[in-house]
Each structure stands twice: as structure tokens, then as C-alpha cells.
Structure 1
Amino acid sequence: MKKEVVRGLATWFGLGDLPKAPGTMGTLGAIPLFFMLNSFRLVIADARLYNSFYFIFLTGFFALSIYVSDRCEREIFKEKDPQKVVIDEVLGFMVTMFLVNPVGYKETVVAVILGFLLFRFFDITKLGPIDKSQHYGYGVGVVLDDFLAGVAANFLLIMLMTIIF
């Protein structure tokens, strides 16, 4: 993959290059991707089939995120876990939204806002094993902490959505 493409994906099309709060900007940049994937619900009417599709997407995006992060650490930015790399935040938000399955406009907006806030909380605080997961090499540490933050946020989001709706 060309360096320009890798850099574009890593910075999520330039959001990571913004001078303030690149992680937050990257997470905000994940919202259109979520809405795009969520629109497939109209085509894939069966929720189980849609969840399988979403899982396959997440698996591929996880692998792509590790590849892109590794290349950025070694070749492009030449530093450990560069702040400009925000594809990991995109993945973390997408993991946060997995299996949430909001129905209707109001429920979707509430899910996105709560998902954003929960993911940013876990991503910033890096509680427990989330912090320890950053120490792996080859791009894995860059991605794994955001993945785990997304898993924790997902668990709470599903519980909250069940209570609220």
C-alpha cells in the first residue's frame, strides 16, 4: 500500500493532523462511517445477518488498523504511537457501536452520543488492562488499547440502551 494511502487512513483523512485533540477528532470522524454501515440495515433486514456483516467489517478493520499503525510507527512518523494516528480511535468507536442495533432516528442519535462519550472516557482514562495493552509492538499496542476501550464502552452502552429504551 502506498505511503500516501497509509498516511491518509492513519490520520483518518487528515483529522489526526488537526492541532487540537486529534483523538477526539478521529472519534468524531468515525461517526459518518458508523452511519454508512448502519444504513445497510435497510438492505440487510435480519439483525443477526447485519451483526455478522458488522463483525466481519470489524475484523478486517482491526487488521487494517494494525497494519497502518505499524507502518506509521516504523516508516512514516518514525515514533511510538504517534498522536496523528487516529485510525485506532475510529476502530474503537466502531467496536463501541457493535451489537447496539438502534432503531429509529432518536435511538440512533442517543446511541451515537452515548457511545462517543463512553468511548472517549475509556480511551482517555485507560483503566486497568487498557493501559497495559499499549506496550505491544508492531502496531498492535497502538490499536489494542482503543479496541479494549471500545469493548468496555460497548458493554456499558448496551446496558444503558437497554435501560433507556
Structure 2
Amino acid sequence: MNKNIVQFFLEWFGTGRSKKAPGTIGTLGAIPLYIIFHSLYFSGIIKNEKIYNMIYFVFLIFLFFISIYMCDFAEKKIYYKKDPQQVVLDEVLGYMTTLFMVNPTTILSLIINIVLAFILFRLFDITKPLFIDKVQDMKNGVGVVADDFLAGIVANIILIGVNLWLGI
């Protein structure tokens, strides 16, 4: 495995190299990925919402497992420490998880959801409430990824609730 290519994705195109708040900058770096992915549905390339959600789900599962593998590799072969700050691929996964099954159909609802998802995900990723902080101790890349994934799931539940409440 080419270390430079792996590092490029782990640091999400360099956003993880930010001197201040690399996790926040890495999460901001995930927004274009969501916009590109959601444009498949928004533009009508994928017309069926259920099919779009299934594709998104498969993408998340793939990203989850590849992130674990790559984060484990990063800890052992690139950075030589647990949960290196530059690695923000886990934030990308968490942010994308936050937006799962949130399918805005207008530009305004898209913008609202992108912003709310960012705020909710960062809130739960930083504070790690409930059981989220407990999974960080897991080994082999799982702990690096699982806390962000769980933060994304909690944020997703709230975001879906907000969308239902606002009717967007």
C-alpha cells in the first residue's frame, strides 16, 4: 500500500494538516463530498429515494471498514501513535453518517441540512456524550473510527427529527 496515497486520504486532501482544529477543518472538507454524492439524487440521476438511500448506506459501510483499515495502518506505519490529530477520514465518515437518509430537495433545505449536520456532528464528536467516549479505547483502528461513527449516528437521529419538525 502506498503510504503517500493513504496519507492523502487519511488527511482528507490536506485538511487534517491544519494547525488549528484539524477535526473541524476535516469535517468542513467533507461537505464537498456530500454535495457531490447528494447531487446524484438532487439532480435526478438517481430518481428513486430508496435506491439512493441504499447506495448511500453501502457507501457508508464501505467507508467505515476502509477507514478502520486505513486508520490502523496510519497508527502503525505512518504516524506511530494512537489516533493522530492529522487523520480526519474518521470525521468525514462521521459527517457523512450524520446526513444519511436526509434528502433535501431544495437548495435552501440542502444548505440548512449541511450547516445543521456540521454543528450537530462537531458537537457530538467534541463532547463525546453517552457511550461515545468509551469506544475510543478499542484497538486496530476501530476506536479511531467508531467514536466518530457513533457521533454521526446520534447527530443523524437528531437531524432527521429536526427535518421532520421543520417539515423540510
When the two structures are superposed, what TM-score results if normalisation uses the length of structure 2? 0.97
Deviations 1:78-114 (A, max 9, x none): 0000110000000000000000111110000000000
User: What secondary structure does 1:63 align onto?
Assistant: helix
**CA displacement at 1:64 relative to structure 2:** 1.1
Runs of 4+ in 1 over 6 A off after TM superposition: none
Residue of structure 2 in register with 1:51 after alignment: 53
Deviations 1:113-163 (A, max 9, x none): 000000000000000210001010110000000000000000000000111
Specify every segment of 5 or more residues in structure 2 that has no aligned partner in the other structure, as ranges. none
Residue of structure 2 in register with 1:81 after alignment: 83
User: What secondary structure does 2:143 align onto?
Assistant: helix
Specify every segment of 5 or more residues in structure 1 that has no aligned partner in the other structure, as ranges. none
Q: 1:22 & 1:43 partners in 2: Cα distance?
A: 34
Residue of structure 2 in register with 1:7 after alignment: 7
Residue of structure 2 in register with 1:118 after alignment: 120
Q: Which amino acid aligns with 2:161?
A: M
When the two structures are superposed, what TM-score results if normalisation uses the length of structure 1? 0.99
User: What secondary structure does 2:74 align onto?
Assistant: helix
Is 1:147–2:138 an aligned residue pair?
no
User: What secondary structure does 2:107 align onto?
Assistant: helix
Q: Which amino acid aligns with 2:65?
A: A
State the aligned residue count. Answer: 165
Residue of structure 2 in register with 1:95 after alignment: 97
User: What secondary structure does 1:134 align onto?
Assistant: helix
Q: Which amino acid aligns with 1:97?
A: L
Deviations 1:48-89 (A, max 9, x none): 000000001111111111111111100100000011000000
Please tell me the root mean square deviation across aligned C-alpha atoms, in Å: 0.6
Q: Which amino acid aligns with 1:10?
A: L
Residue number among 158, 163, 167 corresponding to 1:161 in the alignment: 163
Q: 1:163 & 1:85 partners in 2: Cα distance?
A: 35
Residue of structure 1 in register with 2:17 after alignment: 17
Q: 1:36 & 1:105 partners in 2: Cα distance?
A: 14
